[in-house]
Amino acid sequence: MTELVSNEKDIWKGNAIGRFFLWCSGARIYLLRHCPTEINVYMGIGIIVFLTGILAAISGSYAIYTVFESVPTAVATGIFWGVIIFFLDWYLVASLRKDKTWWKEIVMALPRVILSIFIAYVVATPIKMRLFKQEIESRMALTQLEKRQQAETILSSEFSEIERLKIQNDSIQKQIERARQRRDHLFKLFIAEAEGTGGTGVAGKGSVYREKKAEYDRAQQELDELKNRLYPTFEQNQVRIQYLQSERDRVLTSNQMIITRTKGFLSQYHNLTLLREEDSAVDGISLFITLLFIIIETSPIIVKLLTNRGPYDDLLALEQLRTSAEAKKSYTSIRNQLLRELDLEHEMIQAEMSIHQESSRDAIAKLAAAQREINEARIQKWKEYQMGLNGKTTNGEMPVLIDFVRKFIEEKENSPKIANQKSQEEFSETT
């Protein structure tokens, strides 16, 4: 790479903290060293990205603590969540490039801004829940009370048999009590008649006394009959009521425990939503906090969009162009080498094919020459055979080729194995 500056003092040195924040901004430090005028801009972007990761770690720790109520788990998970958010922001900022046309920059930045808004909302939600913790707990207590009342109403409808049995037992008790009161009243009457303190005022057991005593006896008999008839039902109802009440208490206790334990993250978020719906002040503050986090989260991208194209962007474009040219050069060199290797391999294959073809032509020529010699030898044998017939030919005049063919067929039919062996030997000799 060509020399970027002519004076060594123009190269920014900086310290470890400054280099760390520059790295957080997603900038290439070795290029940014030659651009002192843009150091502060990128350092500010890096500080915002780093602080956003810290806030995300705090937010994630609180959210996990509301679920598991374990400090080590909350701290470990919060740090992990903060690192994830930090590197997401780092990628969003580092991947944004300055272009010469503004609309291309907006198109490139739009998906990053949308993702930043989403990250800001996720990070801000646990922070808002922590800020409104007391109000949320008060609203949760009210919500739990409403749920308890709803649970009791549902249980009352499910265990309505208890009320019906109680009403029935109350009716039985009232009937027995009325009969007892009548009996006691009659008892007092006939006692007063006997003592002379009431009724006729004459002491003794006269006719009036006996009448009142008979009425008392009948009332006592009615009371006993009523008890004998209603007490079994009353006792059965009491047993049934006790059983149903124990079941209702068990279910109610279980529901109360479930309602009391619903203090997790989702329940708190739900009550925060209810608070926002019920109180406009809470809704306004919550919206303000969300917007604040959105501004913090999107500010690095907005800053890079609003700043003019500077020397760092030119150096970065030059670096990318140089890297792209070297990559293309390497690609071309490797491609040409592969093509040469392929051509060499193709030439080797062609040479092998030529050798095989030449060998094939030689073999075919030798096979043809051998075949000619075989044919000449056969013709010579045929000729000698025909001349040895001395006129004993097919037409009786001159020996013809058909006589030799007939003789050959007869010999072949008589000894096929010998003929085949001879033909194989001849073929092997020719090849």
Exposure on the CB side of residue 68, measured as CA atoms within 13 A? 15
Cα gap 134→187, rounded to integer Å: 69
pLDDT digits (tens, 9 = 90+) for 258-269: 656 666 677 778
CA separation, residue 127 to residues 47, 73, 77, 221 (Å) = 20, 18, 16, 79
**Which pLDDT score, from 0 to 100, does residue 300 have?**
81
pLDDT at 89 over 70: yes
Average of per-residue pLDDT values in the chain: 77
Tell me the average pLDDT across 214-223. Answer: 84
pLDDT of residue 76: 92
Cα(116)–Cα(49) distance, rounded to whole angstroms? Answer: 11
pTM above 0.75, yes or no: no
User: What share of the chain has pLDDT > 90, as a percent?
Assistant: 2
Hey, is 69 helix, strand or coil?
coil
Task: Judge whether 34 and 309 are in contact, CB under 8 Å.
Answer: no
pLDDT level of residue 18 (50, 70, 90 thresholds):
confident
Give per-residue pLDDT as tens, 370-428.
878 887 887 777 777 767 655 454 444 444 555 555 665 666 565 555 545 555 555 45
Type and span of the H or E element at 195: helix 160-195
Cα(341)–Cα(354) distance, integer angstroms: 20
Mean pLDDT within 112-117: 82
Average pLDDT over residues 162-180: 85
The structure tokens listed for 124 are 């801000």
Mean per-residue pLDDT, 74-103:
83
Q: What confidence category does residue 243 fall into, taking pLDDT thresholds of 50, 70 and 90?
A: confident
The pLDDT assigned to 56 comes to 86
* CA trace torsion 29, 32, 36, 39 (10° rounding): -70
Range of weakest confidence among 17-26, 71-80, 124-133: 124-133
pLDDT at 427: 45
Tell me the pLDDT tens digit for each residue of 321-337: 888 888 888 888 888 88
User: What pLDDT sits at residue 79?
Assistant: 92
Q: 88-102, 190-204, 292-306 — which is least confidently predicted? A: 190-204
Which of 99-108, 184-193, 223-232, 352-361 has the highest average model confidence (pLDDT)? 223-232
Summarised one tens digit per residue, pLDDT across range 27-77 is 888 888 888 888 888 888 889 889 888 988 888 888 888 777 788 988 999
Residues 150-165, mean pLDDT to the nearest whole number: 75
| Separation CA 2–CA 10 (nearest Å) | 16
